Structure 1
Amino acid sequence: MATSTQRRRTLWVVVAAATLTVMAGAILGPIVPQIRDELGVSGSAAGLIITTHGGVIVLASPLVGSLVDRIGPRRPLVGGLFVYGLGGGAGLFVDAFLPLLASRVVLGLGTAAVYTSVTVLIYDLYEGQAMERALGYRSSANSAGAAVWPLVGGVAGSLAWNAPFGIYLVAVPLGLLAAATVPEMTASSDGTDTAANGSGRADGAERGGGGVLAVFRDRPALPLVYLLYFGANALLYVIVVYYPQLLSGIGVTSSLRISLYLAANGAAGGVSAIAYDRLLGYADRSTLVLAAFGLWAGGLATATVVGTAAGAALPVVLFGLGIGLVFPSTFAWVEALAPPDRQGQFSSYIASFGYTGQFLSPVLFGALVPLAGVEGVFAAAAAIAGIAAVGLGTSRLRGAAS
């Protein structure tokens, strides 16, 4: 059986790897203008350096998930970390747009492997409150990465335009550490996953089970969980994309000052995520998600009326606190609802829906800017969060009444 020390070491590898999935795009945000100028391309083309990996993740994650189900999460995690490091670090040596774009495709493949493997490893190695705690740590690491990596990228970019690409190489030694510490998962005769050094999943269930639509039909709550994650990421990117524009309207234009607001959003998410398993001692997941909807609605609505730099901190803090409750709840629900022998496949859809939400957010909300301004974007986002709160609250009341 895996010892508590082995699980603890694996957890910290998993947490470190989780920050890299956020770093994939966040670390380059501050240097997009430098990429544009150095490579002689348009601003939109330079932006593709940040967004291309996300599209690759959406397409590649289901394939990675199927691979994880066949061979276990350890080897895709280790291999994904090496691919991530080499694909991201290639930017140190590339000085032309198309080769740099190709390296971002490689980065996307590595990120997809890391994202899904990390999720399934948590499912396989931890149970009950230990799993909830690990999911909270994973979400906290994501939030911390969202707060820290843009600042690191900005500092590195002040040294040289391509210096931030070198930071991706941290994934290579992390891959070596994962190879040395993460246990191999094997399938036992009854269809459960077991760690090669002794322990693993305890929820035996028969393998196989129909297509995706059949699973959704048998588990109607599962697509709603994916929709929740899609919506959470779409609203998160309302903050990422449009809050800097809102800040400029109240005189906050420095890139450093703007990054501090985004860092506050990530830090708030880290605080609530780290407390997630303890909060479950007082309320169930749906209650925490309902609270998150309330925090989002209040924070996004407040954003439409802020008039001072100090007051502008409140909306991002409220939104971040909600994110820290929703993300681990999503992962926990998928673990509970997905077929036990297809955790890789169905956890991979979390990444696909999340990155699709990030990608579509500017498309969906951007159409409001010419009509209602940036404030209209936040008003619409607040209304969506409010409708979600009413819908979930009504559903809970009906369930209690029945």
Structure 2
Amino acid sequence: MPDSSSESTARSVVYAVVASTFFVGFGGGVVFPILPNLGEVLGISAFMVGVILSANRWTRLVANGPAGVLVDRIGTRKPFVVGLAIEGLATVGYVVAIRSSMPELWFVLARITWGIGSALVFATAYTITADVSEASSRGTSMGIVRAGITFGFPAGMVLGGIVSEVYNNATAFAIAASFAGLASVIAYFIVPETHVESTDSSINPLDFETTLPALTVGLVNFGLYFAYIGVLFSTLVLYLEAESLTLSVAFAGYGIDYGEQGTSGLLMAVSALSGAVFTISGGKISDSVGARMPVLLAFLATSCAGFVVLTLAPSFGAVVVACVLIGAGQGGVGGPLTALLADLTPEERMGRAMGTNNIFGDVGGGLGPLVSLPVASAVGFDLLYALSAIVPLVAGTVLVVGIYSYTGSLSPTVEESFV
């Protein structure tokens, strides 16, 4: 049983990781409400916009595995700090892109750079949390860290949507870059080494985690990111434009009319905020009941319900409800899912397990924009969102089959050890 001093230290580390990932997350969200509309202004095709939005995830597809191996080999601190600094540099690249005569090239380069940095950050953030938390509180800790990442993302979307309309796109990108710089400073001065005491050169750089728990959790992560980031976030601004759904606010005798960019930024922020709230509560509930599976399946069903609402009722109120439900489902799964992976993975292989998990998530998030934007143009948004509602159901089936095959239980408790 850890003493109060070690518990306090663990909380401080977790909160420092939360703060760092929150501030750097601005750069991840800022492009989503801006770029789909900006594509028309700059003459960037819909396919190229999809390439830009997904370039970071395709880069992480290559970088996630080596990043996880690196964590198990040299530790968490250096990759975490360096990864945050690289993400800050990538956000500066957005400012260059918007002023360049070749914006496509600079946006792609910036997103590739972001992918390298975020591969290091994601592999380390969750590994640090797994290192400093006990099984009985792991769901809560994972939820808090995931919420930090999630809160930064909607903050960036609000920044991108509103600041770009009130001022300009370059200003939105510049503010995001300054916060990314702050993130690396926080990490450098506060986050300690948690994973290894010395470099272990015996670890093979290609020794990825391919156990059944890692593959099962990874496939669920794939489905979630495909539907949420790849479909909803990549198409929402275009859906609002097609349905003529924008937000008008009257306050103190003044009226504010948001365009598609501003409205989509706010809606995506609402969805991600819902996700952040339920990320924390989902992890805490799984700790309280002593099992991850019931919580995971309930939130997967919630995500499915959100896409059903989005399909059946094309009104602004229905879109808000759908975004809240989809965000809640995505977030509610996040904490328990990473905690489940940590429950079933030896500590010394946690970096590699997170690398594998991130690979699957990035394939889903990267494939989503490439598929959803052309499909929406070809068959319409209703059918696209209806098909997306099936994805969480398939993910739930994969989860049940995989975990039962590995543990022999439909709902293993957090106290049970299978590693």
TM-score class, shorter: 0.7 to 0.9
Is 1:232 aligned to 2:238, yes or no? no
SS in 2 for 1:29: coil
The AA in structure 2 aligned to 1:148 is A
Name 2:156's counterpart in structure 1.
Answer: 149
1:178 aligns with 2:190: no
Paired position in structure 2 for 1:277 = 283
Q: Which deviates more from structure 2 when the two are superposed, residues 105-114 or residues 71-80?
A: 105-114
Selected match of 1:121 from 111, 121, 128: 128
Q: Which amino acid aligns with 2:276?
A: G
1:226, distance to aligned residue in structure 2 (A): 0.4
Structure 2 counterpart of 1:201: none
Is 1:32 aligned with 2:24? no
**Residue deviations 1:129-159, cap 9 Å, x none?**
3322221112222332332211112333343
Shift of 1:66: 1.4
Could you tell me which of 269, 272, 278 is aligned with 1:266? 272
Q: Using the TM superposition, give the Cα deviation of residue 82 of structure 1 relative to its aligned residue in structure 2, in angstroms.
A: 1.8
User: Contact 1:49–1:100 at 8 Å: present in 2 too?
Assistant: yes
User: 2:159 and 2:227 mapped to 1: Cα distance?
Assistant: 24
| CA deviation after TM superposition for structure 1 residue 276, in Å | 2.4
Aligned position for 2:252: none
How far, CA to CA, are the matches of 1:208 and 1:223 in structure 2?
Answer: 20
Residues in 1 aligned to 2:374 and 2:231: alpha-carbon distance in whole angstroms: 12
Distance 1:287 1:373, change over 3 A: same
Tell me what 2:18 maps to: 15
77-86 or 359-368: bigger deviation: 359-368
Assess if the C-alpha contact under 8 Å between 1:35 and 1:161 holds in 2: no
Match of 1:241 among 234, 238, 258: 234
Alignment CA distance shift 1:150-1:128 (3 Å):
same
Write the distance in 2 (CA, Å) between the matches of 1:210 and 1:112: 15
- Distance change >3 Å, CA 33–CA 322, structure 1 → 2: closer
**2:147 maps to what in 1?**
140
Label 1:132 to 1:372 Cα distance change in 2 as closer, same or farther (>3 A): same
Q: TM-score, normalised by structure 2?
A: 0.79
Give secondary structure in 2 for the equivalent of 1:284. coil
From 75, 79, 86, the counterpart of 1:76: 79
Which stretch shifts more, 136-145 or 87-96?
A: 87-96
Match of 1:313 in 2: 320
Residues 1:9 and 1:38: Cα distance change in structure 2 (over 3 Å): farther
**Worse overlay, 336-345 or 41-50:** 41-50
Per mean C-alpha deviation after superposition, the further-off stretch among 88-97 and 337-346 is 88-97
Flag the 1:33–1:332 CA change in 2: closer, same or farther, 3 A: closer
Q: 1:323 to 1:10 in 2, by over 3 A?
A: same
Q: Following TM superposition, by how much is the alpha carbon of 1:289 offset from its aligned partner in structure 2, in angstroms?
A: 1.3
Q: Counterparts of 1:377 and 1:41 in 2: how far apart (Å)?
A: 23
Q: Please name the residue that 1:336 is paired with.
A: 343
Q: How far apart in 2 are the matches of 1:351 and 1:391? A: 17
1:92–1:186 CA distance, 2 compared to 1 (3 A): same
Distance in 2, Cα, partners of 1:106 & 1:211 = 21
Deviation at 1:169, TM superposition (A): 3.1
Following superposition, the deviation at residue 252 of structure 1 comes to 0.3
Q: What displacement does 1:122 show?
A: 0.6
Change in Cα spacing, 1:399 to 1:74, as seen in structure 2 (3 Å) is closer
CA distance in structure 1 between the aligned counterparts of 2:40 and 2:192, rounded to whole angstroms: 46
1:290 matched residue in structure 2: 297
Q: Does the aligned pair in 1 maintain the 2:23–2:182 contact within 8 Å?
A: no
**Amino acid of the residue matched to residue 26 of structure 1?**
G
Seen in structure 2, the aligned counterparts of structure 1 residues 234 and 100 have a Cα distance that, compared at 3 Å, is: closer
Show the counterpart of 2:249.
none
Percentage of matched positions with identical amino acids: 23
**1:199 alignment counterpart:** none
CA gap 1:93/1:260 in 2 versus in 1, 3 angstroms: closer
Distance 1:54 1:22, change over 3 A: farther
> 3-state SS of the aligned residue for 1:185?
coil
Matching residue's letter, 1:228: V
**How far apart are the structure 2 equivalents of 1:116 and 1:104?**
18
Measured in 2, the distance between the counterparts of 1:303 and 1:333 equals 30
User: Which shows bigger deviation, 135-144 or 386-395?
Assistant: 386-395
Structure 2: tracts of 5 or more residues without a match? 247-258, 412-419
Provide the aligned C-alpha RMSD in A.
3.4
Matches within 5 A, 1:49-68: 49-68=52-71
The aligned residue for residue 203 of structure 1 is none
* TM-score using structure 1 length: 0.82
SS of 1:69's equivalent in the other structure is helix
Distance 1:172 1:21, change over 3 A: closer
Q: Secondary structure at the match of 1:310?
A: helix
